[in-house]
Amino acid sequence: MLTKRIIPCLDIKNGRTVKGVNFVDLRDAGDPVELAKIYSDEGADELVFLDISATEERRRTLFDLVRKVAATINIPFTVGGGISAVEDVEELLQNGADKVSINSSAVKNPQLINDLAQKFGSQCVVVAIDAKQIDGQWIVHLVGGKVPTELNLFDWAKEVEQRGAGEILFTSMNNDGTKSGFANEALAKLSSLVNIPIIASGGAGNVQHFVDTFVDGKADAALAASVFHFKEIEIKALKQELKNNNIEVRI
């Protein structure tokens, strides 16, 4: 049985870690290099680093910061934000990233998923999907959740799998930063439709929410930010509680 993964997420803006609610009202959450080391030492399974303003500001990800983070941790490291070409990924991998996460660029140019999977292997390609439930439909959004598309979450998830994505990072915009729990119904449906791992994101507020997303949401990994950044949940204690609930985790 594959172990479930706990993944802290560093949302980066202007070189600092930030956290908001429903993708807005950002506040400072600390130095990304320091936080990365803490999480690596505390037993996080992986780390995700998202340069959240790179796409909007039409610039490339912060390679220097990626290199510094990679040098301080010994767990798999996924980097996203502003990636739109094979060359960007090549440079990120050279700077210490293990995987890349693409979002807006994948929707605008779906062939990019195929190209990256072909060149670097599916295990390297995470497609992030930010979706919002509107009138009962899960609609995919781009550019940090600012631009709605005509894509349906579930159709798009099936397509990215077919194109070679190795994982899907699904963030529910309705749940993001609310601490009301993950979007488990949508997660369970996603899990039944695709055969690649699903990372749950958006809504973690307490330990029970993690238990629920693994049991009810059938998620393969759970990603969170503020509950870790502001020390509301300690990773070691969280993993122990998951184990107590018969959920396989690496301790």
21 has a pLDDT exceeding 50 = no
pLDDT band at 12 (very low <50, low <70, confident <90, very high): confident
Domains in the chain, start-ordered, CATH in brackets?
A: 5-244 (3.20.20.70)
Catalytic residues: 11, 130
Provide the mean pLDDT of the chain. 90
**DSSP three-state, residue 128:** strand
Give the whole-angstrom CA distance, residue 246 versus residue 142: 37
Least confident segment among 13-17, 42-46, 245-249: 13-17
Mean pLDDT of the region 80-103: 93
Give the whole-angstrom CA distance, residue 74 versus residue 218: 27
- Taking each helix axis as running N to C, give the angle between helix 207-215 and helix 235-244, from 0 to 180 degrees, rounded to the nearest 10: 50
pLDDT tens track for 129-164: 999 999 999 999 997 778 999 999 999 999 999 999
pLDDT tens track for 97-139: 999 999 999 999 999 999 999 999 999 999 999 999 999 999 9
By the 8 A CB rule, do 251 and 240 touch?
yes
pLDDT band at 50 (very low <50, low <70, confident <90, very high): confident
Burial classification of residue 58, based on how many CB atoms lie within 10 Å of its CB (0-12 exposed, 13-18 middle, 19 or more buried) = exposed
240 has a pLDDT exceeding 80 = yes
Q: Which residue type occupies 91?
A: E
